[in-house]
Amino acid sequence: MTNPIFAHHSLARSIETAQSRNQMHCVTAHQRLYSDSFFECQAIGSGTALYAGHDSPLTQAFGLGFSGEVAVAEIEAIEDFFFSRQTAVHIEVSMLADMSLTQILNQRGYTVSEYTSVLGYDLQCPAEYFPFVPESAISAVTDDDIFPAARAISAGFLETHDADQTIPQEFLDLFSLFCYIPDSVCYIERVGDVIAGGGTLFYDREHELAPHIALLAGASVQPAFRRRGIQQRLIGQRLYAAREHGCSLAVVSTQPGTISQSNMQRTGFQVLYGRVKFTKYFTGAS
């Protein structure tokens, strides 16, 4: 058992800032891959707004409310960013952000559309409490693996199989993109010649005054290969790699009360705080 992690304001700010930077890296990666990239990101207040297509889960704002009281002008700028692209505004709000953010969103007609749990793992815990070792069953994705890995991870999220020809292209594009984001590694496990599952690790080591943070995301196992310990091995491999790379904290976001959250807590992650997604839909009105 490791010591409890106290989720104070500055820790939450570091985590939310890391998430915001990762959004910016998504844009950088997409623009390098596609000369006609439509991804755009804008820094607003303490956070960022990212547009990655109308239906993309990446299209949202992160990290607001960590520079003191939020000004109405910040929310107006975010609304201009998304509404000018004729898409809804989704703002992820940490429960440790300044309360003025929630108050403004309530006043401007936002509704709650999602809850998220943010969990953390202390990578600086003593060695005897860190049981993870490199897994020979896990390998990092190579260039030749990117497309089949994206199919396998997409299939896991969609509760289908990677041979399913109906997997939406936007899922394939999203998980392929993760492999090209700066300071990221995608890990996979094979069963025979089939990629059974995979998960991504993002490093954030850009802030000298904040802990080096590892973000775990984009992990799934195809239904046919579950109950074999693959998910736990993918978690353990990423924690081991993050510690080896000098990160002091690993962070993951899950839906509250889900199997994903249970898997993380069994591994030793602690719930740090919650996020609430506020949404305001585009109506076409000026």
Q: Please state, in angstroms and rounded to a whole number, the distance separating the CA atoms of residues 112 and 106.
A: 9
pLDDT at residue 39 in the model? 95
Q: Which CATH architecture has domain 9-117+275-280?
A: 3-Layer(aba) Sandwich (3.40)
The shares of helix, strand and coil residues in the chain, as percent rounded to the nearest 5, are: 35, 30, 35
Q: Please state, in angstroms and rounded to a whole number, the distance separating the CA atoms of residues 217 and 269.
A: 14
Per-residue pLDDT tens digits of the chain, which is 286 residues long = 567 899 999 999 999 999 999 999 999 999 999 999 999 999 999 999 999 999 899 999 999 999 999 999 999 999 999 999 999 999 999 999 999 999 999 999 999 999 999 999 999 988 888 989 888 899 999 999 999 999 999 999 999 998 888 999 988 999 999 999 988 999 999 999 999 999 999 998 665 555 689 999 989 999 999 999 999 999 999 999 999 999 999 999 999 999 889 989 999 999 999 999 999 999 986 4
pLDDT at residue 1 in the model? 56
Using alpha carbons only, give the angle 109, 115, 118 rounded to the nearest 5 degrees: 130
Is there a common fold for 9-117+275-280 and 127-247?
yes
Contact 116, 253 (CB under 8 A): yes
> Alpha-carbon torsion 190, 253, 11, 272, what sign?
negative
* Burial (0-12, 13-18, 19+ Cβ within 10 Å), 213: buried
List the chain domain ranges.
Answer: 9-117+275-280, 127-247
CATH of span 127-247: 3.40.630.30
pLDDT at residue 230 in the model? 94
